[in-house]
Amino acid sequence: MRLLKITACMLVIFLLIVNSVDHEGMASDGEITLKEAIHLGLERAKEWNENAYLTFLTSVDEDMGGTRGETGKRYNWNLIFEAPGIEKQLFVFISKGEISGTHKGNGPSLGEIKLEDIKFDSPDLVKIAKEIYGLQKSVDWATGYHFTFDGEKDKHTVKVLGNDKNGLFTGITFDAKKGEIVAASHKVPIGGGVIKKRLGSTESEISKKGKAIMGVIAENNYVVLWGDKKPTQFSITKQPFMEWSRNNGETWEKLPVNNYVTHAWFDRNDQLYVATENEIWAGVTSKNKGKKILSLDHPIEKVDYSSNNHLAVLSSERIYYTTNHGESWEQAIVPEPFSKFQITDNGVLLVLTGKSKILQKTNDGWKEIAIPNSNDALLDMKVINNQLFITSKSGIWISVLKEEIWRKVQMDEVIFHFHKKGEKLFGYTYRGEVIYSIPTKVGSKPEKVLDAVEFVVSDVDSVGDTLWIATMPDYSWEDMTIH
């Protein structure tokens, strides 16, 4: 219950920061300590109510430089004050040693923090945390060192937040009066890796445990994986890797890709294509990094490829596409906002707009494709072998392009997303908890291939009767030894 109360209040604080309510005063150049922030905030709270008392405090992330908590000081602090017999609370925001804003709001009562019980300030506590636990600055989220202070049943504690030596988010909790460490914990990865599972069987095997596997493709005897070797809760790009197996996962070889991989696929000749943040490479092998066929100034956001390997890439609201395997590229600008795009075997571009319209690029511009139910909100779209697949809350619709004759595939569950793997199609339910194999030929029925409630699935592919499941770690607080 205590945690829920604090979470609710912190959500309110975040919203208030974004809206910058009731700014006052000019900022100074100073970072201040936890106790200095309390005294400054209390002065303003006493103007609101002379009996005001502190109930919660936290430092706040920013990008203004400074020591970022290295010395126990931060630029930004948020405080919550209450007063006896009053349901409302006062939120006080501090930036660079000045009151930058206040807000009167409602929230759960968190209890009084007695200032006379605060004997140790943040510079003392961060020094102890660094000396005893080797606490380091957090890099990817809550950057630097951060400090939270709250009280419950006369137990006043200060938590110093940072990273441990392995880059895991860590909190060291002190008794604010005695300076003693009363708790220590870090967020450890649980799960992760690639799962090999035979369809229709309950048995499976996992490899690459603990790694964040962001993608997997399986074709013939080839299996390709990519992701991060040592992920943390807030980063999966620190130690990127890409490997392949040429014997269905028996042994693995490193692929010479130094950047973070976003997409990969095989063409019909088993030539491997790899997309990184800004580039696409063709013909990647364990001994050859391949040929660069595209380099962009802006990040590659999405990639699509047809059965005969026409390519389309979304970057900075433009679609770049090629029908000659990357020898030359053209650009297309879509006339209205869109969420999905595809390229057909004939090199034709299709987009799914935010208004559930499917537009097809023509020589003269764009034309709308008639869909079975104009009132049906479309969720996703894919093209395989010049067949158009769309999914909506009413089911899956399939049409051969140019014929505009639709057939419906009834589903027991709503498919929210499609994942195309070569000429195979998978359908994901909400949050990817259930995954179906969607048939691309008439007469076959969708088949449930995975219940993914026990792990975090990032990608899936199949070859023959073998399913390859790419998973990411989840994270959970784990207690550390108290020194």
Q: Per-residue pLDDT tens for 163-209?
A: 999 889 999 999 988 889 999 999 988 999 999 998 878 788 999 99
Last residue of a domain, one of 187, 208, 228: 187
Please tell me whether residues 122 and 43 are part of one structural domain. Answer: yes
Please tell me whether residues 124 and 229 are part of one structural domain. Answer: no
Please tell me whether residues 166 and 227 are part of one structural domain. Answer: no
Last residue of a domain, one of 187, 219, 244: 187
Please tell me whether residues 97 and 169 are part of one structural domain. Answer: yes
Please tell me whether residues 439 and 458 are part of one structural domain. Answer: yes
Within-domain flag for 483: no
Within-domain flag for 343: yes
pLDDT at 61: 84
Closest CA to 34 of 178, 159, 182, 185: 159
Last residue of a domain, one of 187, 206, 225: 187
Count up the domains in the chain and report the number.
2
Within-domain flag for 479: no
Please tell me whether residues 217 and 98 are part of one structural domain. Answer: no
Residues in the chain: 483
Domain that holds residue 214: 189-474
Please tell me whether residues 295 and 322 are part of one structural domain. Answer: yes
Listed as ranges, residues in the chain with pLDDT below 70 are 1-29, 107-110, 151-154
pLDDT at 85: 81
Within-domain flag for 17: yes
pLDDT at 107: 66
pLDDT at 7: 38
Please tell me whether residues 107 and 20 are part of one structural domain. Answer: yes
pLDDT at 373: 77
Within-domain flag for 481: no
pLDDT at 405: 85
Please tell me whether residues 277 and 301 are part of one structural domain. Answer: yes
Q: What is the value of pTM for the model shown? A: 0.79
Please tell me whether residues 199 and 142 are part of one structural domain. Answer: no
CATH number, domain with residue 464: 2.130.10.10
